[in-house]
Amino acid sequence: MNTSSSLPLSGRIALVTGAGSGMGAAIAAHLATLGASVAALGRREDRLTALATAAADSEAAGRILAVPADITSDAEVEAAVARIHRDLGPVDILVNSAGVMLPNPLADGRADEWGRMIDTNLTGLLRVTRAVLPDLTEGADRGPRDIVNISSIAAHVTFPDYAVYAATKAAVTALSAMQRTEVARHGVRVTNVEPGLTQTELGMHIGNERLSAELASMFAAIEAISADDIADLVDFVVTRPANVNLRQVVVLPTQQA
């Protein structure tokens, strides 16, 4: 008996960036379980292939297509979207989950890290959104369509030495609100998700030993939320009735003030 047609995301096509690990991987897996066909986009092809294989082995109702690409490259994003169109079809759900966190004091002058965060967290998000925007705005006959941007509470909560990372996330939060003013008329919903302390790989790329230790102490003191918790939240957002848009969701560990 085929039950996939009764699932809430059956027939919908999702694109999830940053799907090689953490929130992106969890979100892709969850959406497939709910019946969506999911394009899992990220830089690490081996991780994406493993994610697709795991979904197939678990007999998830939807499929996961591994789409290796770097969102800091126009050419790679364009090629990735062309492949998604060819293999799956037009995108109904875009989850911009890719991001990098490289905190350091501004006095260190790490322009290389600033550029990497801006190009990934902000420009990369814009690059992917631009590539699939016609799918979303011209797809009224396909039912609900969603953009979900993963921001951070750093968008409005101050953390010393995280200035540039916080600035990119504040930009994502502002951009999400402005996106909605342009796409809501087409029936496209935009949700900005701001997680607090979350157990992912994001903190593993911190090169500053002091800041790395400070973050580790936070994880020791607070029971963080998980990538699956965020994925479960995204599941809820994209399965609301078509006339309901959760504009902004802030999600914190219970112990985080």
Phi and psi based region of residue 105 (left: phi greater than 0; alpha: psi -120 to 50; beta: remaining): beta
Q: How far apart are CA 43 and CA 96, in angstroms?
A: 14
162 labelled catalytic? no
Q: How far apart are CA 18 and CA 47, in angstroms?
A: 11
CB count in 10 Å sphere of residue 71 = 25
* Cβ–Cβ under 8 Å, residues 45 and 162: no
Which of 165, 195, 197, 224 is an active site residue? 165
Rounded to the nearest 10 degrees, the angle between the axes of helix 45-57 and helix 22-33 is: 30
Distances from the Cα of 184 to the Cα of 6, 8, 229, 231, 244, angstroms: 27, 21, 27, 23, 11
Q: What is the DSSP string of 222-248?
A: S--EEHHHHHHHHHHHHTS-TT----E
Q: Specify the DSSP class assigned to residue 91.
A: -
Q: Specify the DSSP class assigned to residue 63.
A: -
3-state secondary structure of 79: helix
Query: What are the catalytic residues?
Result: 165
